[in-house]
Structures are given as C-alpha cells and as structure tokens.
Copies of this chain bind each other. A is one copy, B any other.
Amino acid sequence: MEEIQRPATAILLMHCPDSPGILATLTGFINVNGGNIVYLDQHVDRLKNVFFMRIEWDLKNFVIPKEKIDDYFSTLYAFKYNIQYRIYFNDYIPRMALFVSKMSHCMYDILARYTAGEWKVAIPVIVSNHPDMEVVAKRFGIDFRYFPITKETKEEQEKLELGLLEEYKIDFIVLARYMQVVSESFIKHFPNRIINIHHSFLPAFVGAKPYHAAFERGVKLIGATSHYVTTELDAGPIIEQDIARVSHKDTVETLIRKGKDLEKIVLSRAVEKHIDRKILVFENKTIIFN
C-alpha cells in the first residue's frame, strides 16, 4: 500500500436549522483561528429549513490544538445554533471489517483498491458465515474469521463477532454480498456505519432473489443499490445506485453476470464516499457531498 503524504486537516460534517449568517459565522471561526479552508460544500434544504455542510481545513497554522477543536466548536457554536456534527481528522485511517459469504466479485474489487492504495483505509479482518472465501483472504494476507450462523446460534455468534470487531477497533462494516440478515441489536452498535449492497434498484425488488424477480417482470434495466443498513430490510438511507441495460435476450444467469459488475462499482463508490467522510445521514436519506 503506497504511502500518501497529505497535510493534516480537520473535517467538520454538520447540520443545523438554517439561519442567516450561519455560513459566514462558521467559515469565520476557521479563518480567524488561522485555518485555511481547502474544501467546502454546503446545501440548504429549503423545505425543512436545514443547513448541511462539509468543511475541511488545513491544521498547520490553526491556533486551536487538534484535541481541543471539538470542545471549542461545541462551546461556541453547537449549542447556540443547535448543530449536530462530527469532527474527523484526515490523519486517522478508518478501520473497515469486510463481511462476505460465497461470492468473490465485490470482495476482490475492494481488496484490489485497498492493496493498490486507492483508499485510505485499513482492513484488518474479513468475517464470513461460510468458509469459501478464506482462500481469497489468504491471497491478500488478511485475517479471515468464519462464523457459521444458524437460527439458533445467531445471537451468540453475533456477540462473538462484535467482540472481534471491538478487538480490531473496527469503525465501519461493509457487507460485500453478505447473505445473512444482520440483527437489530448488532446494527445498533454501528448506526449508519454498515454499508450493504443490494442487487436491485431499490425500492424495486426488495428482499431475496431480485434478479429472478427482474427477469419475471421483464424489465429493460437492472440495478444495484448501496445503502446504510437499518433495522428495516433494504430500507436504509440510499448512498448510490446505478443501472445496466438488459433485453429480452437475457436470462437470469446473464442478469446475475451483468449485475455483478454493477454491484462492484456501486458498492465501491459508497465505500469510498464513506471513507472520505462525504456522507451525512438525515431522516433516512443521505446528503452526499461532492
């Protein structure tokens, strides 16, 4: 994994009720303290009157020490303007756990990007409910953990998984065609931090076997959707979607084959946005900063 040298920056992801001057106030805070803004994208939802922003600034001459930024921001602005926010630092490398089952296409796509240094992420562990993908994990020298899951063992196994994730200090989980519904209690440990790929353009074809359903309906497009996992199946905030054109000549098998390429790209785009701290969730929808 090649090393990327970047100046240390802070990233603020936030939303609050919109008010005149909020943008001037917050950019002023950064400027006045010596921060050089290197990225700013903001959006106002005029219907709900909410102000969203992602702002990133160079810390080199920023007079507030890194570990105090949150305190200052909270004290000065968060309460006053009712701001919901998270502050990230670009020199922290987020830690991903990859969950897989029997298919390798998304897994390879993610591991290829990872090992080529495309993403600033660490992937210390791969978790699976089937042993099949251990051979792929080994190619990349990543710890592979097998948790067979039945209705009876699910609760216990998920607890073991959670323990493992804690041990590895995992920040977020990617379900790369992980063919097992994750329980509500598990999800609660990773709110908006589990990314799934569903092999249809949601909300069409929720649930199992969407390619079969697409074939039955005779659609002319198939799709894939990456989303954060919530307790309602396939109903979490959508991060990215894309489609491919199909025809009457396609069979379920060719739909699956074409769909794999979609799944790879749609999942990877979502993971990249997540790693880059460019996604904000608000009322079950995503704001994707550019």
Contact A20 B43 (CB under 8 A): no
* CB <8 Å contact, B238 and A219: yes
Min CB–CB distance A272 → chain B (angstroms):
9
A157: Cβ under 8 A from any B Cβ: no
A28 interface neighbour in B21, B112, B203, B239, Cβ under 8 Å: B21
A150 within 8 A of B: no
Mark interface residues in A27-55 (1 if CB within 8 Å of B CB, else 0): 11001000011101011111100000000
Q: Give every chain B residue within 8 A of A260 (Cβ-Cβ).
A: 118
> Distance in Å from the Cβ of A111 to the closest Cβ of chain B?
8
- Chain B nearest CB, measured from A228 CB (Å): 11
Copies in the complex: 4
Q: Bound state CA distance, A223 and B108, in angstroms?
A: 24
Q: How large is the interface on A (under 10, 10 to 19, 20 to 34, 35 or more residues)?
A: 35 or more
A101-142: which residues lie under 8 A (CB-CB) from chain B? Answer: 103-105, 108-109, 112-113, 115-116, 118, 136, 139-140
**Binary interface profile of A, 222-250, with partner B (CB < 8 Å = 1, else 0)?**
01000000000000011111110101110
Query: Considering residues A220, A242, A268, which has the most beta carbons from chain B within 10 angstroms of its beta carbon?
Result: A220
Chain B residues whose CB sits within 8 angstroms of the CB of A112 once the complex forms: 104-105, 108-109, 112
Query: What are the residues of chain B within 8 A of A113 when measuring CB–CB?
Result: 105
Q: Which residues of A contact B (CB under 8 A)?
A: 20-21, 23-24, 27-28, 31, 36-38, 40, 42-47, 103-105, 108-109, 112-113, 115-116, 118, 136, 139-140, 201-205, 217-221, 223, 237-243, 245, 247-249, 251, 257, 260-261, 265, 268, 284-288, 290
A selection of 25 A-B contacts at a CB cut-off of 8 Å is: A20-B37, A21-B27, A21-B28, A23-B23, A23-B24, A23-B27, A24-B24, A24-B31, A103-B116, A105-B116, A108-B112, A109-B109, A139-B139, A139-B140, A201-B201, A201-B221, A203-B204, A218-B284, A218-B286, A220-B240, A221-B242, A221-B243, A243-B243, A248-B287, A265-B265
